[in-house]
Structure 1
Amino acid sequence: MKSLKRNKILGLIVFITLLINCGGKDDSVSIPPSIEELSLSYIRLDDQSLFNNPTIKLGTQIFIGFNKAVNPTSTAFLFTQGSINAPFVIKQGESNTELILTPNNALEEGVSYTLTITNSFIANDGSTYNGSSFPFKIESIPLTIENATVDGANLELSTPNQDIALLPKFKFTFSHPVTETELQSNLQFSPSTNFTISQIDANTIEVIPSTALTYWKNYQLKINSSLGATVGRDFNTSTYDLFTIHDLIDKFPIISDEELLTKIQKETFKYFWELGHPISGMALERNTSSNVVTTGGTGFGLMAMIVAAERGFITRAEAINRWQTIVGFLETADRFHGVWPHWLNGNTGVVQPFSAQDDGADLVETAFLIQGLLAVREYLNDNDVQEAAIIDKITQLWEEVEWTWFTKGDEDVLYWHWSPNHGWDINLKIQGHNETQIIYVLAAASPTYPIDADVYTNGYTSNGSFKNGNSYYNYNLPVGPNKGGPLFFSHYSYLALDPRNLQDAYVNYWTQNVNHSKINYSYCVDNPENYIGYSAQCWGLTASDNHEGYSAHSPTNDKGVITPTAAISALPYAPDESMEAIKYFYYKIGDRILGDYGFIDAFNPTEEWYATSYLAIDQGPQIVMIENYRTQLLWNLFMQIDEVQNGLDNLGFTY
C-alpha cells in the first residue's frame, strides 16, 4: 500500500516537471538556433550557367551566387586550365551574396577549364561549404562568311546570282582572320578558271578572275570546308551559283519588223518542206523521227503551206503537188471509223503506236488534221482540174470521220481514243478548257456524223464547270486551269478557228486567249522560281522538249524552259510582248537558238541546255499564227466554210 502511494507521488513530480519544461518560459535562458548550410544559388560564365553545361561559348567572367553573405576569399577557390592552375582575381559582386571571378588571362576557344570551390570556404555567419567542381569547355566558334559580294552586290547562296560581269570582283569577309594563302588552296571555280586573290584586311579577301568569263554561262564559285581545317575551325562549304551577263550585241543585221516576221515564217517553213516525208509528204513528228509521221502536225503543216504559197516561199504548183501526195496517202493509210491514229509509218501508212494502248484512232490529232485539210480545200480552186480532184478527196475524207462513234454510242461527251485491240480502255474524255475545242466544232459541223449541242455542253464545257473566273497578275481568266495552263491551249484550236469574236454561252474566247497569253507573259517576267533568262523579252511556257525529256510547261509546271513557239504563236493576242520576244530570240540569242528549221524547240539557260530538236506541233503554229496576225489568212479561209458556220450555229456560238 505504501509502495503504490510512493509511485503516485513520483508520477506527479514527473508530470509537473514536464509541464514546466513544455509550457513554462524562462527569459534568462538563450538556446542558439541551428545554422543553415552554405549553398550555391547560381554559377555562370557571363550569362551561361555552369550547372550541367560542359560546353559553352566564350566568356570573360564567372559569377557565383550563394544563399547568404560571403566575402571574396581566393584561397578557397581553384581555377585550372586543363591540369594547370590559372591565375584569377576574385571580388565582391553586386550583392554581398555574389562573387565575381575574373581570369587573369583571357579564356580560349576549344580549351577545358575547371572551377573548384573547396570545403574551406566559409560564409560570413560561419557556415561551411561542402565543396564542388564545375568543369567546362569553351566551344570553338566556326568560321563563317559574314559578308559576300560581287561588284558591291550581295552574293546569294540559295539562288542563282544572275547578270555577273565577265571580270567580276568578289569580296569575302570572314568571321575570323583568314589569309589569302589559306583561301587560295580552298577556293575553286567551275568550269576551271584562274583567279587572283588579294588581302584587304585580316578578315577580308578579294577574288578576281584572271581572264574574262564567258557570256551567258553558268559558273560555280566554291569555298571548300577544308578551309576550316586550314585555319583551325569548323567551316561549312559555301557554294555560289553564278550566271554571267548576256552579250547584248545584235547577232544579225537589223531589218524591219515585217521583214523579220517573213524571215521567221520562211525559215520555220523549211521544217515542213525540206523534212516532209519523201513518200507520204506528211510532217515528221520531230526532225529525228525517220519514218514516223504525225497526223496533227501535218494538219499544221498543211496550213503552213498555204502561207508559204501566198508568201512566195514555194510556188502554188509546188503546194498543190504536195497536197495531192498527202491526201492520196491519207486515203490508204490506217483509219478506224474514219479516224487516223496519232502516228503513221510514212512509207506504209500503218499505225505506229503512240503508247501501249494507243494503237488506233486519235480523234484530237485527226481534228487538227481535218482543220488543215478544210483550210486547204477552201484555198483551192474548183475550176482547176487538179485542184478540184484534191477538193473532192478532202471532202470524202472529211465526211468519212465518224464523230458520233466517239460518244461511245450515246454519251454526251467525245472520247479521245479507240483501238481495235483495246477498245475504249484508255477511256479519256475530251473536256475543256484546253487545246481541244476545235474537235467539238468540227464534230458539230460534220455533214455526215454530226454531234448534238448537248455533247458540247455536257462534254467540253461540263455544263459550265470548266469556268475559272480568277485573276492572275490582274488578268481575269474566264475558263481553264490555274494560271491558264500551257500556251498551246490558245494556239492549236485557233490556227484556223477565228477566236476574235467567238463566244459560246460561257465565255468570249478572244478575251480568254488574250488574258491567257498575258498571264503567261507576266508570270515569266515575275519569275518566282528565279530561273535564268526569264524577262519581258524572253518568255513563253508551253509543251516542248526539256533537259529531262518532254513536258507541258506552264506557270504551274515551270522547269526553267523557254519554248519559242509559245511567245511567237501568241503574236495575235499579245502583239507588243510577242514582238519583243521575237526580236530578242532573233537578234540577241539567235546565235544559240536559230537553226536549220527556225528556232529550236526549247532552251533552258539555268541548265545550260539547248534543244537540238524541232517538232511539227511547235513549228507549225508559229507560221500560221504570225500570218493570222498579219493578214488573218487562215482565219478568213476557215470561217467562210459553210460546214464550219453550221457547226458553230449548231453549238450556239456567236462569231
Structure 2
Amino acid sequence: MNFNSPSSSSLEDCLEQVQARTFRFFWDGAHPESGLPFDKCFVSGDPSPDIVSVSGTGFGILAIIVATERHWISRAAALERLTTILRHLERSPRFHGAFAHFIDGATGAAMHFSEKDNGGDLVETAFLMQGLICAREYFQAATDEEEKLRACVDRLFGAVEWDWYTRGENGALYWHWSPDHDWIMNLPIRGWNEALSAYVLAAGSGTHPIGPENYHKGWARSGEMRNGASYLGTVLPLGEPYGGPLFISHYSFCALDPCGLSDRYCSDYRAQAVAHTRINHDYCMSVPGYRKAGMWGLTASDGPNGYGAFSPAYDKGVIAPTAALSSFAFLPSEAESALRAMLAYEDGKLLGRFGFADSFVPKTGWVAGTYLAIDQGPIIAMIENFRSGLLWRLFMKAPEVRRGLARLGFASTTHSIAPDALV
C-alpha cells in the first residue's frame, strides 16, 4: 500500500497498514531487556527515557494479541515476549496488589509519578489487567508455556486488593495510595470517566471484591453522573459538559464491549460513546481551521506547550490522531474521513516509523516529536474491535468480567453475563 495515495486504497488496506505500523511501537520500540513498552518514544529515533507506564503496558499486550491474530508475528514470538513481560511485572513492587503508574523499564522498580504519588495507581493497574485478562483468554492452548502464562495472570490479578482501595468505606474506590504519604492524593474514582473497567474488575475479583454499593455510591454518585443535556444537537447521557477528552470513551472500551451494555444509569453504553464522539466531531467541524484540514479529534495528548487533556471545553488547537482513529467503532464514516485526511496531510508528514505522530496543530503546522503508549495502543485495539470484535469477545467471556458486570447490575444483549457467573 502507498500511504501517499490514501484515496486509492481500500479502507481495509488502510486499517491493516495503520494498525501494523502502529504495532511496531510496542514491538520494535519496546525495552530491549524487559519487552515492556516505553511510555514515550521519539519520532526522531532518539533514545527513549527508561520509563514504562503500566497502562501503556496493558494496551501493548492488547496490541500483541492483535498482531498474533493477524499474523504480523508468530504465536511463539508473542508468547516469548509476553513471558518476558510477565517475568518483569512479577518483579515489580506492588502496593496492596496495585502497580505504580510508572516503572523502570529495566529493573521493574516503581518510579515516582509526582512527589507524593509514589505508590499504587489503581486505574493504571486496571488497564494493565484488561490486557492481561485478554491475553489469558486468547492463549488457551494446553501447552506448558500457555498454561504458565495463564497461571501468572491469575496470580497478578488475584493479588490486587481492590477492596482495600475503598479505604474501608461504602463509597468510591480511590485512585492512589503511597507507602510514604498514605491517602494524601485523596482522589476518588468517580464517573463518568475512563475508569469504568476498574469497577467491573474490582467487583469481579475472586479474592478482594468490592460490593455493589461502592459502584452505585462511589462511581455513579447515586445517579449524579447522569447528564442528559444536549450539546451541538446531541444528547449526552452521562458525564461532563461536551463529554470531555475522547480517551474517556476509549480506555475501558478497548476491552469492555459497550455494545448492548446497560445498567440503571445508561440504557446503552455504546450510545453514550457515540454521543460523546459525535459532539467532539461536530465541535471540530464548527472550527474553520479543523474543517478546512478535514481533521477532528480532541483528547489528552502532547501539545506545543506540553501534555494536556484537550476537549471542546478546552481547545488549544491540538488534534491527536488517536482520537478519531480509536473512534472507528462509534463513528466509522467520520473516522475514515479523518484517517484519509491524516494520511494525505502534507505528503505524509504525520506518519513515521511507529504510525502517526502523537498530535499536530493544523493552524501552525506544528507536529509532535513523540509517540505515546497510551495513545498508540487504543488505535490498534479500537480499530480491531471495529474490524473483528476480537478484544471485546475475549474480555467479555472472562469469568471475572462476567462476575463483575452481574454483581453491579449490568445487562448485555451482546454477551452472556448470566447469574451463574456469580458462582
Shift of 1:538: 0.8
Aligned to 1:261: 15
Is residue 353–residue 359 contact of structure 1 (8 Å, CA) maintained in 2? yes
Summarize the alignment of residues 233-244 of structure 1 with structure 2, pairs less than 5 Å apart: none
Q: Which runs of 5+ in 1 are unaligned?
A: 1-249
Q: State yes or no: 1:611 paired with 2:371.
A: no
CA deviations over 1:228-253 (Å, ceiling 9, x no partner)? xxxxxxxxxxxxxxxxxxxxxx8336
Q: CA deviation at 1:596?
A: 1.1
1:447–1:643 CA contact under 8 A, matched in 2: yes
Letter in 2 for 1:640: K
Asked if residue 552 in structure 1 is aligned to residue 309 in structure 2, the reply is yes
Q: Counterparts of 1:590 and 1:456 in 2: how far apart (Å)? A: 48
Q: Which whole-Å CA distance do the structure 2 matches of 1:608 and 1:266 have between them?
A: 26
Which amino acid in 1 is paired with 2:275? N
Check 1:536–1:497 CA distance in 2 against 1; reply closer, same or farther (3 A cut): farther
- Superposed counterparts of 1:288-307, under 5 Å: 288=42, 289-307=48-66
What amino acid is aligned across from residue 643 of structure 1 in structure 2?
E
> 1:460 and 1:381 mapped to 2: Cα distance?
33
1:162 aligned residue: none
Contact 1:536 1:577 in 2 (8 A): no
Q: CA deviation at 1:571?
A: 0.3
Q: State the 1:607 CA deviation.
A: 3.0
Task: Determine the structure 2 residue equivalent to 1:252.
Answer: 5
Secondary structure of the structure 1 residue equivalent to 2:82? helix
Query: What SS class does the counterpart of residue 349 from structure 1 fall into?
Result: coil
Tell me how far 1:345 sits from its aligned partner.
0.6
Instruction: Give the secondary structure class of the aligned counterpart of 1:533.
Output: helix
Aligned residues of 2:284 and 2:290 also touching (Cα < 8 A): no
Task: Tell which has more relative contact order, 1 or 2 (C-alpha 8 A, sep 6+).
Answer: 2
The count of residues paired between Structure 1 and Structure 2 equals 404
Note the C-alpha offset of 1:606: 1.9
What TM-score comes out, normalization by structure 1 length? 0.61
Aligned counterpart in structure 2 of residue 526 of structure 1, from 278, 286, 304: 286
Q: Distance in 2 between matches of 1:319 and 1:284?
A: 18
2:97/2:159 contact within 8 Å kept = yes
Q: 2:88 aligned with 1:329, yes or no? A: yes
Give 1:283 deviation, angstroms: 1.1
Partner of 1:361: 120
Q: Confirm or deny: 8 A CA contact 1:339 1:363 kept in the other structure.
A: yes
Question: For the residues of structure 2 that align with 1:506 and 1:356, how far apart are their CA atoms?
Answer: 37
Q: Which has a greater percent of strand?
A: 1
Distance, in Å, in 2 between the alignment partners of 1:610 and 1:654 is: 43
Query: What's the CA shift for 1:535?
Result: 4.9
User: Could you list the per-position Cα deviations for residues 539-581 of structure 1 after superposition, in whole angstroms to 9, with x for gaps in the alignment?
Assistant: 0000000011110000000001110000000000000100111
Residue 566 (1) aligns with residue 320 (2) = no
Displacement of 1:638: 0.6
Tell me which of 201, 209, 221 is aligned to 1:462.
221
Alpha-carbon distance in structure 1 between the residues aligned to 2:137 and 2:234: 36
Shift of 1:409: 1.7
Q: Which amino acid aligns with 1:365?
A: E
Runs of 4+ residues over 6 Å off in structure 1: none
Q: Distance in 1 between matches of 2:201 and 2:37?
A: 22
CA contact (8 A) 1:499 1:509 kept: yes
- Give the Å deviation of 1:410: 2.4
1:390 equivalent to 2:149? Answer yes
- In 1, Cα distance between the equivalents of 2:404 and 2:356? 36
- Distance, in Å, in 1 between the alignment partners of 2:152 and 2:388 is 28
Q: Deviations over 1:381-406 (max 9, x none)?
A: 24011111010011010000000110
Residues 565 and 621 in structure 1, CA contact (< 8 A), matched pair in contact too? yes
* 1:536 CA drift (Å): 8.1
Q: Is the 8 A contact 1:470 1:478 kept in 2?
A: yes
The equivalent of 1:579 in structure 2 is 336
Q: 2:166 aligns with which of 407, 415, 423?
A: 407
2:421 counterpart residue number: none
Q: Helix, strand or coil for the counterpart of 1:546? A: coil
What is the alpha-carbon distance in structure 2 between the residues aligned to residue 382 and residue 309 of structure 1? 14
Note if 1:648 corresponds to 2:408.
Answer: no
Normalising by structure 2, we get a TM-score of: 0.93
The residue identity in structure 2 corresponding to 1:307 is: V
* Cα distance in 2, alignment partners of residues 327 and 429 from structure 1: 29
**Structure 2: unaligned runs, 5 residues or longer:** 43-47, 413-423
> How far off its partner does 1:355 sit?
0.5
Corresponding residue for residue 596 of structure 1: 353
1:478-517 paired onto structure 2 within 5 Å: 478-507=237-266, 508-517=268-277
Equivalent-residue separation in structure 2 for 1:590 and 1:338 (angstroms): 48
Equivalent position amino acid for 2:358 in 1: D
Query: Aligned letter for 1:497?
Result: L
Aligned match of 1:222: none
SS at match of 2:308: strand
Secondary structure (helix, strand or coil) at the match of 1:287 reads strand
SS of alignment partner, residue 463 of structure 1: helix
C-alpha distance in structure 2 between counterparts of 1:276 and 1:389, whole Å: 23
Structure 1 residues 56-71: aligned runs within 5 Å: none
Q: C-alpha separation between the residues in 1 aligned to 2:402 and 2:146?
A: 23
Q: Does 1:284 align with 2:44?
A: no
**Shift in CA distance, 589/650, structure 1 to aligned 2, threshold 3 Å:** farther
State the secondary structure of the residue aligned to 2:23. helix
Structure whose CA Rg is larger: 1
For each residue in 1:155-191, what CA deviation from the matched residue of structure 2 results, as whole angstroms up to 9, or x when unmatched?
A: xxxxxxxxxxxxxxxxxxxxxxxxxxxxxxxxxxxxx
Instruction: Please list, as runs of the form range in 1=range in 2, the aligned pairs for 1:121-270 lying within 5 A after superposition.
Output: 251-252=4-5, 254-270=8-24
SS of the counterpart of 2:264? Answer: coil
Give the equivalent residue in structure 2 for 1:313.
72
Report the RMSD for the aligned CA atoms in angstroms: 1.4
Aligned-pair CA distance for 1:255: 1.6
